[in-house]
Chain A
Amino acid sequence: MSTLAIQNLHVAIGDTEILKGVDLTLHSGEIHAMMGPNGSGKSTLSYVVAGHPHYKVTQGDILLDGESILDMEADERARTGIFLAFQYPVSIPGVSVANFLRTAVSNVRGYTTKEADSNANGVIGSNLMPMREFRRELNTKMKEFNVDSSFARRYLNEGFSGGEKKRTEVLQMAMLEPKFAILDESDSGLDIDALQVVSDGINKLATEDRGFLLITHYQRILNFVKPDYVSIFFGGRIVKTGGPEVAHMLEERGYNWVEEELVAGIVPA
């Protein structure tokens, strides 16, 4: 059982404070949905947990099983078991899904122990997971997560549809087997069929040893993926946490209600 604890997290870009004291504790086996309007800082939170270098943590901490991860680079965080499914996965020309994923999996699973040697001799391919073993596992998981086998050779996200990008993100999660996954609007821009496929993937991966922070703007995905907790995120912090009923409340009353009652009433200006 692992715990990801975000404690009084304040984050700024330059002089602008974006996160204003976020507190959230996530345990293995839990799905925590975080809902909020556009521009409330949800994506910033996901980037900061994943280790994006552009943001400055001015206060607070992020702890994985009691250890701060703030000093770690993004790749070290990935190796300790944190995964971010991007809202807008980048397209990287010439980098095939299989090629980069083999290096990623090898690092995360500890094949690339002599990383310095590997970098020094400059050859991609030393200290990697054996090709056949990797291929076999990738093929199995591509079937399981509804990703066409041709995607292994295709360049990362180049010419992928919105749904294909999100499915590829889920496939990567399946290969990297993180302890905690942050899904940043994995439902956005998907039609109902694509949403079903992505949700199925998440449900398959939602095992006892894994925790999810599911960031979303809409209640829709929660019809497919059942959260244990739902938080409302507004103005750079969590303004309410409860069970699934919170999501229904939001659906009925919209975000204006949050602004009028929760932010004005509960949180001092």
Chain B
Amino acid sequence: MTVLIKEPKEIVEATAGFSQETVRQASAAKDEPAWMLDLRLRAWQTFESLPWPKPTDEDWRRTRLTSFNLDNYTPFATPGGTLGLDELDPILLNALDEMDSSASLLYRDGGVIYSRENQDLKQQGIIFTDLQTAVKQHPELVRRYFMTEAVKPDANKFTALHAALWDTGSFIFVPSNTKVVLPLQAILYQGERVGGYHHTLLVAEEGAEVTVVDDLLGAKNSFQATVVELILKDNAQVRYMNLQDFEHTAWNFLTGSAVMGKDTDLRWIQVSWGSRLTKAFLDLDMRGEGGHGELLGLYFPTRRQHIDHQTLQLHRVPNCFSDLLFNGALKHRARSVYMGIIKVLPGAQKTDAFQRNGNLILDSSARADSIPGLEIEADDVRCTHAATAAQVEDEYVFYLMARGLTRPQAERMIVQGFLQKVLDRVPVESVVHKLEKVIARKISR
């Protein structure tokens, strides 16, 4: 059978609203230095030179961009200035107050609308600011780390677009042996029918400790191309949570990478609740010996949502540990894709790596594809992977009902239990409660 692949051509024609001139406008609106404009323009060239993903690309074989059209969106949003606490939308106020944070930043329409510091971070030399401000106030740091090491503009079509048009974002810099006690919180509420390009750039210097929570909301009928860059110098300890709960009409493209030095310790929680379609590329890049990296994912697509996570655990050096666990539940014709590779380069002996993906299928119309993989070029390693797809066990339901639970209560408890293995490892209690609420909501609807 011949399959006619029509999407790429349509999309190219549809980029009329996006041009080099758009990129210049985006930069000018932010009154940026020339080096950032140059970076954006180079990225735009990259974007134009890269082909759109095709269904024949291995990365995109199971996730099609049919009906995605850049022309449906305003290229970038125009910021409206900051607001007082009492002027904030209740949804945002609620998100802000859910957690005890060291500091919080709230973004909307391409800019910061509210910020607060609950602890004196400057005194410790900690930088937690929006990236637009950081470009001006800390140009040397931003130039050094912004899309140079963890995620480069040419990583894929969407990272190139991101580099050309990035708008909101957080810059987090924690100096050597400095500890941020409470989490740093960033909340994005993206507007309607607009392109969004949120960036998280974290640099944890030697022996630094920090917890960062990104809360991503809104994006009704919009698209978002996020980049997350976590840079851990030797002995740094980072807890990072990316909590994506966009509207179910949003297209969401995420590329994230953690660059891990010697004896670093990272736990990354990736939650994908929202969006109509998500394609996420997530890498752990183990560059220093003794690194310990955990990448934990949760997803629960319903009503035709399509959620695709593609991961890489890259072991370049010996004696590193990486553990990946992605668990998801699915219902209502939803679809999930998990593709993952543990890659062990020659010489990376004593690598200890796990990769597990579990799927709980709640009705037969949902579908989960799981493609785990190993590429091992060293001979003294321990690497294991496992993928499962199962339904709610009738015997579990009967057991709980025989104890007096109603069928919905029993099913809810079993689904929640299935996701609990990841929840148990979420390091911030208020985030756990927030996630539990979403799970309960998704189960009952």
Contact = CB atoms under 8 A, between A and B. Distances in A.
A201 B238 CA distance: 48
Secondary structure of the B side of the interface?
helix
B417 A78 contact: no
A90 interface: yes
B445 interface: yes
Interface in B409-431: 409-410, 412-414, 416-421, 423-424
A77 B399 CA distance: 13
A91 to B, nearest CB: 9
B401 A75 contact: yes
Contacts of B419: 94
A95 B408 contact: no
Nearest to B403: A104
B421 to A, nearest CB: 6
Interface string A166-187: 0000001000100000000000
Contacts of B399: 86, 89-90, 92
Contacts of A120: 444
Nearest to B444: A122
B402 interface: yes
Contacts of A83: 402
Interface in B373-426: 393-396, 398-410, 412-414, 416-421, 423-424
How many chain A residues sit at the interface, stated as a range, is 35 or more
B329 to A, nearest CB: 12
B144 interface: no
Interface string A53-72: 11000000000000000000
A172 B440 contact: no
B98 to A, nearest CB: 16
Contacts of A107: 404-406, 409
A95 B413 contact: yes
A54 B408 CA distance: 19
Interface in B114-152: none
Contacts of A190: none
A99 B405 CA distance: 12
B393 A124 contact: no
Contacts of B437: 123
Contacts of A101: 403
Given A53-B398, A74-B402, A90-B399, A103 B409 contact: yes
Nearest to B441: A122
Contacts of A84: 402
B404 A92 contact: no
Interface string B294-307: 00000000000000
A93 B401 contact: no
Contacts, number: 106
Nearest to B423: A94
B245 to A, nearest CB: 16
Contacts of A73: 401, 407
Nearest to A115: B406
A86 B398 CA distance: 11
Contacts of B408: 119
B416 A124 contact: yes
Q: Which of B401, B410, B416 has the most CB of A within 10 A?
A: B401
A155 interface: yes
A78 B444 contact: no
Contact of B414 (A78, A89, A92): A92
Given A73-B407, A93-B420, A95-B414, A122 B443 contact: yes
A155 B424 CA distance: 12
A63 B409 CA distance: 27
A248 interface: no
Contacts of A103: 404-405, 409, 413
Contacts of A105: 404
A155 B420 CA distance: 10
B404 A176 contact: yes
A94 B418 contact: yes
A79 B407 contact: no
Contacts of B402: 50-51, 74-75, 77-78, 83-84, 86
A124 B412 contact: yes
A90 B395 contact: yes
Interface in B272-297: none
B421 A51 contact: no
B393 A99 contact: no
A219 to B, nearest CB: 27
A93 B421 contact: yes
B444 A119 contact: yes
Contacts of B396: 90, 92
A51 to B, nearest CB: 7
A134 to B, nearest CB: 14
Given A75-B406, A124-B413, A94 B421 contact: yes
Given A92-B417, A103-B413, A51 B403 contact: no
A63 to B, nearest CB: 19
Nearest to B424: A94
A242 B419 CA distance: 51
Contacts of A160: none
Contacts of A257: none
B388 to A, nearest CB: 11
A73 B418 CA distance: 25
A78 B409 contact: no
Contacts of A115: 406
26 contacts: A73-B401, A73-B407, A75-B410, A78-B403, A84-B402, A92-B413, A92-B414, A93-B421, A94-B417, A94-B418, A94-B419, A95-B420, A103-B405, A103-B409, A104-B400, A104-B404, A104-B405, A107-B405, A115-B406, A119-B444, A120-B444, A124-B409, A124-B416, A124-B440, A155-B417, A176-B404
Given A75-B404, A93-B417, 11 more contacts: A53-B394, A53-B398, A73-B407, A93-B420, A93-B421, A99-B413, A100-B403, A118-B409, A122-B412, A155-B417, A155-B420
Interface of A: 50-54, 73-75, 77-79, 83-84, 86, 89-90, 92-95, 99-101, 103-105, 107-108, 115, 118-124, 155, 172, 176
CB-based closest 7 A-B pairs: A94-B417, A94-B420, A122-B444, A78-B404, A74-B401, A95-B417, A104-B403
